[in-house]
Amino acid sequence: MVTDAEWDRMRQGLRFGQVFEGTVVHVPRPGAIGIFVDIGLGVGGFVDVLLLPEHSDDWPVEGTIADFEIWWADSRRQIRLKPSGSRYLRKDFTDHVERFRPNWASEVGQFVS
């Protein structure tokens, strides 16, 4: 577990869209909340159910290694991720982004903090 100060320093170097190889470490309620991913930074990674395929059978299972992008990181000491590849991403991701995060394309590459 990192301290608040360590987290603040860590966030300063993170960029939206930055890709990490991660391992799915926990799928607590398939189809309900999302998945927890270890990306090797000492803080938790999480993919929200809203970014994953509609059917939980299509979600990555524990132990799956895949690429994930930084979607969000705030003061909660958790990195919100999105799957990089379409296999584990909701089918209508483009429409979802246009509706709920229309500036995503311009945010990619920008520092999180």
Using one digit for the tens of pLDDT, what is the confidence trace for 89-111?
999 999 999 999 999 999 999 99
Task: Read off the pTM.
Answer: 0.94
Torsion angle (degrees, nearest 10) of CA 109, 46, 26, 39: 30
What is the CB neighbour count within 10 angstroms for residue 75? Answer: 10
Structural domain boundaries of the chain? 4-100
Terminal-to-terminal C-alpha distance of the chain: 20
- Pick one of 3.60.110.10, 3.60.20.30, 1.10.760.10, 2.40.50.140 as the CATH number of 4-100: 2.40.50.140
The DSSP secondary structure of 72-96, one letter per residue, reads: EE-TTSEEEEEESSGGGS-TTHHHH
Q: Per-residue pLDDT tens for 48-88? A: 999 999 999 999 999 999 999 999 998 889 999 999 999 99
